[in-house]
Amino acid sequence: MDKKQKYILSAVVAFLVIQFILVPLISRRKALSVTKNILQNWVIGDVAMALKNFVSPEKSPPIYGLKSYKIKSSRFDRHEGKLRAQFWIDLNFSADNVLPSGKTWICELTLDRGRWLASKFYPSSD
């Protein structure tokens, strides 16, 4: 194998590593960042900033009085032709909140035009 073939092979390997390892890893981190941003804004009581991360404000549940959260697990797949991220999250609310504290909720995000947005946020049936 001469120098030119080694160079081409190295470029192809680098391209494949970037496309199949680095790009999905960065995309997953961005989805996690959006989810954490929504939850942090709910914790500090800034609902308007949390709504900016939803596909439409109507898709956001009426969350207030969130004291803490814990992201338990995640799953990434394709749904209806779009990349989808799902996060299972334990939410703990203040005592005066009507929503049940300690229950698991699912935050579903879709990748639309290069941006992760929350499309659904609902209680888990488990």
Q: Any idea what the CATH number is for the domain that residue 51 is in?
A: 3.10.450
pLDDT at 25: 75
Could you please report the per-residue DSSP string of 60-82? S-----EEEEEEEEEEEEEETTE
pTM to 2 decimal places:
0.83
pLDDT at 26: 81
Structural domain of residue 16, as residue ranges? Answer: 3-123
Cβ atoms of residues 42 and 104 within 8 Å: no
pLDDT at 27: 82
For the chain, 126 residues long, give each residue's pLDDT as a single digit of tens: 788 898 888 888 888 887 777 777 788 899 999 999 999 999 999 988 999 999 988 878 888 889 999 999 999 998 888 899 999 999 999 888 888 888 999 999 999 888 999 999 999 986
pLDDT at 87: 97
pLDDT at 114: 86
- Our count of domains for the chain comes to 1
Q: Is the dihedral of CA 106, 64, 32, 52 positive or negative?
A: positive
